[in-house]
Structure 1
Amino acid sequence: MTKQVHIIGGGLAGSEAAWQLANRGVKVRLSEMRGGGDSTPAHQGTGLAELVCSNSFRSDDDTSNAVGLLHHEMRRLGSLVMRAAAEAQVPAGSALAVDRDVFSAHVERALAQHPNVEIVRERIDALPADGMTIVATGPLTAAALAGSIGRATGADSLAFFDAIAPIVYRDSIDMDVCWIQSRWDKRTDASNEEGDYINCPMTRDQYLAFRQGLLDGEKTEFKEWEANTPYFEGCMPVEVMAARGKDTLRFGPMKPVGLDNPRDVTPEFPQGRWPYAVVQLRQDNKLGTLWNMVGFQTKLKHGAQVELFRTIPGLENAEFARLGGLHRNTFLNSPILLDRQLRLKSARHVRFAGQITGCEGYVESSAVGLMAGMMAAAELMGEDWTGPPRTTALGALLSHITGDAEAASYQPMNINFGLFPMPDEDVKKKLRKQAYTQRAKRDMAEWLGRQRLPEPA
């Protein structure tokens, strides 16, 4: 083949996309600004696929863990990132951790030696007007390119504090304590039959103790390069609201009005009474397996979040698909802006990959880069590429990014079983994770058998 794909960004996603394309005979121009006179506040060197935070790819257990399953599927597809991780692996129990320098060097060497890859140390300041392009510039996209993306997507700005609320697995919520109801029983055409919110009631003493826990809990500090990036008033950390006054939360995200607790029925109040305060959870995915804590974006450290949020009535045994956070991030509202092939709807010659699409984590970023590379190769070859089934880790991640997530509340997400369709109802809860992985491996094998694209070398 003589056609070329331009990849902007030499991180994990860009490197993986380049590998998938090059091994299928496609010429790749890989533009990376580091090493060409530019860098980011987070990177220390100029190597491709530099790991800027942890050196861990998390669990490598592919029998009962979602990220381990994603490792397995990427290996089946000839992932460069997984190959480099195997060479650079260091002891970490059941986790896959790597020597950062060995890992980055392996990725760069493999791409630099590939006859179909040209690595160019250059900064790209605008989306190309034509030619197939994959943008994989990550959460610290340079200002000029971020501005170009913003103009193309209609966004005012892509650099802001990303306020993330915790997400809870639905089956870990105690519905003997909580109940489902919309405030004032208001419904829309999209409403569930019972209501749209899970409500966790609090007494006055519980509320005051919870507020004090927010004030006293250990907080994360902003990094130096985040210091001057403001967050929005509408995304105020819950502990900042708590500090504004004793009842601020009760007139904000924890207001109880219009919510009748059916567990508190008396002759005087046959429908139940309003609690003193309420923590509400809203459905976060179409499958109904994940629910987010409304208004609970926070700077509390993860350990402090788990300890405090499990004091909320009904969440004593809560399992979290994601904990809250607040940090500078750049990502697209992908369910609105991208099609199922990760192409920008307003400029279909441009694909996005990696964290800028709203996935979170090294492995997830690499996986989306892998799929973007496969998609681009298929398009160039005139093939109608159909993604992996949503019962697989790759398919679940792709479905979340391109349509399963609620666009109005779309936030970065790690791979987790809450993104998968539920297994058969007769599967016991303690065996459910194994059921997810067994089904995924079976469906992945069947999907691979139907592929017409050449396998990567």
Structure 2
Amino acid sequence: MKKFTVVGAGLAGCEAAWQIAESGYPVTLIEMKPIKFSPAHKSENFAELVCSNSLKASRLESAAGLLKEEMFRLGSLTVAVARRCAVPAGGALAVDRNDFSSAVTDMIKNHPNITVENRIFDRIEPEENEILIIATGPLTEESLAQEIQRLCGDCLSFYDAAAPIVTAESVDMTKAFGASRYDRGGDEDYINCPFNKAEYEAFINELINAEGAVVHDFDVYEGCMPIEKLAKRGLDAPRFGPMKPVGLVDPNTGHRPWACVQLRRENSKGTMFNLVGFQTNLKFGEQKRVFTMIPGLENAEFVRYGVMHRNSFLDSPRLLNADFSLRSNENIFFAGQITGVEGYMESAASGIMAGINAVRRAYGEEPLILSENNMIGALSRYISDESVSNFQPMGANFGILPPIEPKIRDKKERYAALGRRALDGLEKAE
């Protein structure tokens, strides 16, 4: 019998191990926590969410919603658990991160086909009958990262940033107000901190002149751009980005604010909220000084300041097949953000595919490579497309799917049609 080993118990590693185990085969899941933690991880549990607690939109006419539905139909562990641990977040699927990771951990540890080993994995030397999946994420432990470099050559590096979290009771609700954009969801899903023009300009001035915690020469991936770096692109850049006021009306004025910071519920009890889109590299003292200029956060209690950490990902188009196996050794698979899929669910989806295809590889079956009409299939093809010369991480989006013909002009109708096509094709693939 073939031996299956998965390294890393993040979302991708848990999904990969789950797929193998659910197929009826024993699998060993190796996780270095609690022996050693990365700079961003704090919990001993698996599938820890270290940045946002949002898994993005739920509706099927959105790219993120379509991705999660495809995953669910493929037997996803994390999507099923997330739906059980959901907290109100308008049209998004957000979770109580502690409940989510605890539930995933329990299900993994209690599966009869999964053996968990807590140790540092630092040598990539699979046995002759072993299928190995490396899902150690963008914060791979240093000795293993060196092994990956030895095996694969140079990795690309970038920095990733996480947003601060504040207590709900410390927000001044005489200035802030509860509402979801365009009334999508309940008023308890988001807290909104509105700016007038003068307040906004004063805030941006302090933000761009605040002192950062790290000086570095690495590029930051667009999806995790620190708010202070975005602000340096132009006075209105945040106002057309995470601070956009569209779809909101300040009940104190009866008008749309000049700009707005949204706080999203962090846990099921609604005692903590994170600052949406406010990933940051500012020093902790500077975060407190500048972010308390936000109307309603003058006396905010920060339970976590924003942090920034180094991430690495493979030059996957030169290294990986569309089934996430390594071209130079097809008994070795990679999964998760290290492959260049960007986002929690995208990482988990790659774990699903790696797990399914590891079993198929072991027993001589053709790999499962979904159609380019599927969101998962399109992402798989993107990370393995040798024509991609300047490879950057990619999250789920409708731009990577082939267009509908004839073209549908209405965007909402077009996205709904893309979703129907993807799910119809997935049923046939299954």
Name the TM-score class by shorter chain.
0.5 to 0.7
Q: CA deviation at 1:142?
A: 0.8
Deviation readout 1:66-124 (Å, 9 max, x if unpaired): 01001111111111001111221111111111111111111111111111100111111
CA RMSD of aligned residues (A): 3.4
What amino acid sits opposite 1:124 in the alignment?
A: F
Which residue matches 2:88? 91
**Equivalent of 1:38 in 33, 36, 39:** 36
Report what 2:135 is aligned to: 136
Corresponding residue for residue 289 of structure 1: none
Deviation of 1:407 (Å): 3.3
How far apart, in 2, do the equivalents of 1:70 and 1:6 lie? 26
- Structure 2 distance, partners of 1:220, 1:26, is 56
Q: Which has the larger radius of gyration?
A: 1
| Rounded Cα–Cα distance in structure 2 between residues aligned with 1:373 and 1:442 | 23
- Measure, in 2, the Cα distance between the counterparts of 1:360 and 1:222: 28
Q: Is the 8 A contact 2:40 2:309 kept in 1?
A: no
Give the AA of the match of 2:74: L
Partner of 2:75: 78
Q: State whether residues 158 and 331 of structure 1, in contact with CA within 8 Å, keep that contact through their aligned partners in structure 2.
A: yes
Partner of 1:167: none
1:391 to 2:320 alignment: no
Structural mapping, 1:109-188, within 5 Å: 109-130=106-127, 131-155=130-154, 159-161=157-159
Q: SS where residue 313 of structure 2 aligns? A: coil
Q: Deviations over 1:344-384 (max 9, x none)?
A: 22222211000000011111000000110011011123211
CA contact (8 A) 1:5 1:28 kept: yes
Check whether the contact 1:32–1:121 (CA below 8 A) recurs between aligned residues: yes
Question: Structure 2 CA distance, aligned partners of 1:409 and 1:303?
Answer: 25
Question: 2:14 matched to which residue of 1?
Answer: 15
Distance in 1 between residues matched to 2:16 and 2:428, nearest whole Å: 23
Q: What amino acid does structure 2 have at the position aligned with 1:416?
A: N
| Whole-angstrom CA distance in 1 between matches of 2:359 and 2:329 | 18
Structure 1 counterpart of 2:230: 301
Q: Scaled by the length of structure 1, what TM-score is found?
A: 0.64
CA contact (8 A) 2:230 2:237 kept: no
Query: How many angstroms apart in 1 are the aligned matches of 2:348 and 2:326?
Result: 19
Q: Give matches, 1:285-364, under 5 Å.
A: 300-301=229-230, 307-308=236-237, 328-364=310-346
On the 8 A contact 1:147/1:158 being kept in 2, the answer is: no
Alignment of 1:416 with 2:397, yes or no, is yes
Q: Give distance in 1, aligned partners of 2:230 and 2:315.
A: 26
SS at match of 1:407: coil
Q: CA 1:114/1:310 → structure 2, altered by over 3 Å: closer, same or farther?
A: closer
Q: Distance in 2 between matches of 1:361 and 1:222?
A: 28
What residue is the counterpart of 1:231 in the other structure?
217
Question: Secondary structure of 1:330's match?
Answer: strand
Match of 1:428 among 392, 399, 409: 409
On the 8 A contact 1:217/1:300 being kept in 2, the answer is no
Per the TM alignment, residue 328 of structure 1 is displaced from its structure 2 partner at its CA by 2.4
Mapped contact 1:218–1:300 kept (Cα < 8 A): no
Whole-angstrom CA distance in 1 between matches of 2:206 and 2:392: 24
1:385 CA displacement: 2.1
Matched, 1:439 2:421: yes
Deviation at 1:408, TM superposition (A): 2.5
- Preserved contact between residue 404 and residue 414 of structure 2 (Cα < 8 Å): yes
Structure 1 gap segments, 5+ residues each:
164-214, 238-291, 312-321, 449-457
SS at match of 1:6: strand
Percentage of pairs with the same residue: 38
- Counterpart of 1:98, as a letter, is V
**Aligned residue in 1 for 2:27:** 28
What TM-score, normalized to structure 2? 0.67
How many angstroms does 1:401 deviate by? 1.1
Letter in 2 for 1:358: G
What's the offset of the Cα at 1:160? 4.8
Which blocks of at least 5 consecutive residues in structure 2 are unaligned? Answer: 162-203, 241-276, 281-307
Measured against aligned partners, the alpha-carbon deviations of 1:294-313 in whole angstroms (never above 9, x if no partner) come to xx9996238977944999xx
Cα distance change of structure 1 residues 95 and 218 upon mapping to structure 2, 3 Å threshold: same
Give the secondary structure class of the aligned counterpart of 1:120.
Answer: strand
Distance 1:85 1:397 in 2: 22
Task: Return the letter of the residue paired with 1:135.
Answer: I
Preserved CA contact (<8 Å) 1:85 1:103: yes
Give the structure 1 partner of residue 388 of structure 2. 407
> For residue 231 of structure 1, what is the amino acid of its counterpart?
D
Q: How far does residue 411 in structure 1 lie from its aligned partner after superposition? A: 0.8
8 Å Cα contact 1:220-1:301 kept in structure 2: no
Question: Aligned equivalents of 2:10 and 2:74: distance in 1?
Answer: 19
Tell me if the contact between 2:341 and 2:347 (Cα under 8 Å) persists in the aligned partners: yes
Look up the equivalent residue of 2:16 and give its one-letter code: A
Instruction: Assess, with a 3 A threshold, how the Cα gap between structure 1 residues 368 and 48 changes in structure 2: closer, same or farther.
Output: same
Deviations 1:1-60 (A, max 9, x none): x4221111000000000001100012111010012x210110111101011111111101
2:272 corresponds in structure 1 to none
Give me the whole-angstrom Cα distance separating, in 2, the residues matched to 1:73 and 1:369: 13
- Write the distance in 1 (CA, Å) between the matches of 2:342 and 2:419: 20
C-alpha distance in 1, partners of 2:102/2:31? 15
Task: Choose from 356, 365, 369 the match for 1:374.
Answer: 356
Q: 1:121 to 1:236 in 2, by over 3 A?
A: closer
What's the counterpart of residue 66 of structure 1?
Answer: 63
Question: C-alpha distance in 2, partners of 1:223/1:137?
Answer: 28
Would the aligned equivalents of 2:356 and 2:368 in 1 still touch at CA under 8 Å? no
Q: Is the 8 A contact 1:13 1:370 kept in 2?
A: yes
CA distance in 2 between counterparts of 1:29 and 1:223 reads 41
CA distance in 2 between partners of 1:371 and 1:31 (Å): 19
Aligned counterpart in structure 2 of residue 102 of structure 1, from 74, 81, 99: 99
The amino acid across from 2:18 in the alignment is W
Q: What is the CA-CA distance between 1:400 and the residue it aligns to? A: 1.1
Q: Structure 1 residues 447 and 217, CA, compared in 2 at 3 Å: closer, same or farther?
A: farther
- Alignment-mate amino acid for residue 141 of structure 1: T
Rounded Cα–Cα distance in structure 1 between residues aligned with 2:43 and 2:367: 36
2: CA distance, partners of 1:331 / 1:338: 12
